[in-house]
Amino acid sequence: MATAIQSQGVVTAARRRSVGRLALATLGWTVLIAFALIEILPFAFTVANSFKCLPAVQSYPRALIPVPPFGVSCVSEEGAPLPARAVSTPTTFNPTLQGYEEIFDAKLPRWFANTTFFAVVITVLRLVFDSMAGYALARIRFPGNRLLFYSILGTMMVPPVVLLIPRFIILKHLAMLNTYQGLIVPLAVDAFGIFLMKQFFESVPGEIEEAAMVDGASRFTMFLRVVLPMATPALTALAIFSFQGTWNDFLMPLIILSGKSDLWTLPLGLSFLRGAYGETLRWHAFLAGSVLTTLPLALIFFYFQRYFVEGISYSGLKG
């Protein structure tokens, strides 16, 4: 009798628990899906509206489904802009490349080439210089090793805004304002990269290097032949972070490259275009520019996703 009641109690408790668990799971799913929509929908609307005629962007921004005819012209045969209703309904729209043509005419290809050049060159230089410095700090004993490491770590605390003005002055005096090297040289080394590489080199066992040392290899040969090939995961993470950071950077190009439109990067070009347009923004062109600015990083992200996630977690900054 007593045991029956007891077991019944256990059963109801278990049932209550499984009901509770189901409720929690449903709640969890709802929260996740809601947030996923909030995070992703703006991008969907951006892509859709970048392929619309301007009146359609203004009247029916929420139309998401492209329907034929594709590649419509946004003006009538007489050259007057077509009304929104002619190329769109509240839910569907006829895609056009008008916005892309307009942003191309605004020198976007030039900005794209500049941004690619800056991102690639700065990333390559950082891979070389950061890994050299990180290796020296992790493995080679020399006077001032610790002091240098902590100084480098300390510079990560200094906000870029503080460095803005003095960097501007120094570059001005070196006649490097509004030049390619003006942006590249100050960014060719970064404290975060050195820190990342040092952490990595400390985590790999030193026996292989010792063996190479016994064989009489110099530090430099060993670094090139033995150490760097082992460091591929860390180098990939560093390359991705640095490419992404440089591609998106706004503050430094704004200070260093503003004066010469031939040197503008994508974020700089888009922001100045926004300033030039004032209140009447040509949204189809802006959204086309936004899509083209994001696309390369999106492709890299989907291809190297694992490294993004690993990089964040093993930069050792976890705690």
How far is Cα 93 from Cα 69, in angstroms, rounded to an integer? 9
Query: Apex CA 242: angle with CA 239 and CA 247, to 5°?
Result: 120
DSSP string, 129-191: HHHHHHHHHHH---TTHHHHHHHHHHHTTS-HHHHHHHHHHHHHHTT-TTSHHHHHHHHSS-H
Decide: is 307 part of the binding site for other proteins (CB under 8 A).
no
In the three-class reduction of DSSP (H, G, I as helix; E, B as strand; rest coil), residue 93 is classed as strand
Q: How far is the CB of 77 from other proteins (least distance, A)?
A: 29
- CA-based radius of gyration for the chain: 28
Q: Which is nearer to other proteins, 142 or 232 (CB)?
A: 142
Residue 257 beta carbon to other proteins: minimum distance, rounded to whole angstroms: 13
Cβ nearer to other proteins, comparing 61 with 233: 61
The region of 67-75, 99-107, 204-212, 265-273 touching other proteins under the rule CB under 8 A is 265-273
Task: Among 97, 104, 121, 145, indicate the residue that binds other proteins (CB under 8 A).
Answer: 145
Residue from 206, 224, 274, 277 touching other proteins (CB under 8 A): that is: 274
Q: How far is the CB of 76 from other proteins (least distance, A)?
A: 24
Contacts 24+ apart (CB under 8 A), 71-78: 71/95, 71/96, 71/97, 72/96, 73/98, 74/98
- Residues 135 and 130: their CA atoms lie apart, in Å, by 8
Q: Which of 279, 310, 300 has its CA nearest to residue 123?
A: 300
Smaller CB separation from other proteins, 200 or 283: 283
Nearer of residues 133 and 231 to other proteins, judged by Cβ: 133
Number of residues that bind other proteins (CB under 8 A): 93
CB 113: neighbour CB atoms within 10 A? 12
CA distances, 101 to each of 8, 58, 187, 256, 280 (Å): 73, 19, 33, 29, 18
Is there binding between residue 155 and other proteins (CB under 8 A)? yes
Identify residue 274 by its one-letter amino acid code: R
Cβ closer to other proteins: 29 or 73? 29
Q: Closer to other proteins by CB, 60 or 94: give it.
A: 60
32-51 residues near other proteins, rule: CB under 8 A:
32, 35-36, 38-40, 42-43, 45-46, 49
Residues of span 65-124 touching other proteins by CB under 8 A: none
Task: Choose one: 1-9, 100-108, 230-238, 267-275; the region binding other proteins (CB under 8 A).
Answer: 267-275
Q: Is 16 in the site for other proteins (CB under 8 A)?
A: no
User: Per CB under 8 A, which of residues 159..178 are in contact with other proteins?
Assistant: 159-170, 173
User: Of residues 130, 183, 196, 242, which one binds other proteins by CB under 8 A?
Assistant: 130
Residue labelled with tokens 């090297």: 181
| Shortest separation between residue 232's beta carbon and other proteins, angstroms | 19
**Window 198-237: residues binding other proteins (CB under 8 A):** 218-220, 223
Of 103, 122, 152, 231, the one binding other proteins (CB under 8 A) is 152
d(CA 88, CA 84): 6
Cβ-contact 66, 94 below 8 angstroms: yes
CB of 25 to other proteins, least distance (A): 6
